[in-house]
Amino acid sequence: MYITIEGIDTAGKSTQIEALKKLFTDAIFVKEPGETEIGNKIRSIILDDGVESSRAETLLFLADRALLVDRVIKPNIQKLIISDRSAVSGIAYSLASYDFDTVELVELNRFATDNILPDLCIVLKLEPSELSLRLQSRPTDKIESRGEKYLLNIQKNLFRASELLGIQTVSIDASLPMKNITQTIGNIIKGES
């Protein structure tokens, strides 16, 4: 089973991934962008340096996604794969940032992933007030510095992107205690809920 953990910046994806590593010791854990060596360079270009072209930024994300699928997802498709982001985020961020054609975005992501998409999308959802508190408590990267309105638009588009790709989606309140979220995700993965 291939599962993606999604959510806007500060929603707690990375924290949950670390907790899930202790619960699912045989799972393959991946991250977008930056799982492969080249992907890590792409991540640095996008998040640290910034890219002045919306199409170039989208294509860089797609290149990273294609490498991840070819080098990690395909060889391990029969195992449990838990991903920190996926094509769902790719489409959501592009829809929130640029005036792209939805059909083109879906087709480009299907091409990049060779139609290998997550079986399940778990979205950690933040309310605006909680997002504001979390953003104030830490330094921001190039994406986060675009503001709360931008991030909330991405959050809305995570659900839209998942629907466009035909991926089953579960929403979890990201303001719940960390252990509760981990237990809920663990139960979902185990098929207990």
In this structure, what token pair is assigned to residue 180? Answer: 């509760």
Say if residues 125 and 7 touch (Cβ distance below 8 Å).
Answer: yes
**Domains (ranges, CATH) in the chain?**
2-190 (3.40.50.300)
Q: Which segment of 135-144, 147-156, 181-190 scores lowest on mean pLDDT?
A: 135-144
In this predicted structure, what is the pLDDT of residue 99? 79
Contacts of 94 (CB under 8 A, 6+ apart): 54, 58, 61, 100, 105
d(CA 12, CA 176) in angstroms, rounded, equals: 10
In this structure, what token pair is assigned to residue 93? Answer: 């961020």
Average of per-residue pLDDT across 66-84: 96
The answer on pLDDT for 20 being more than 70 is: yes
In this predicted structure, what is the pLDDT of residue 140? 57
In this predicted structure, what is the pLDDT of residue 193? 43
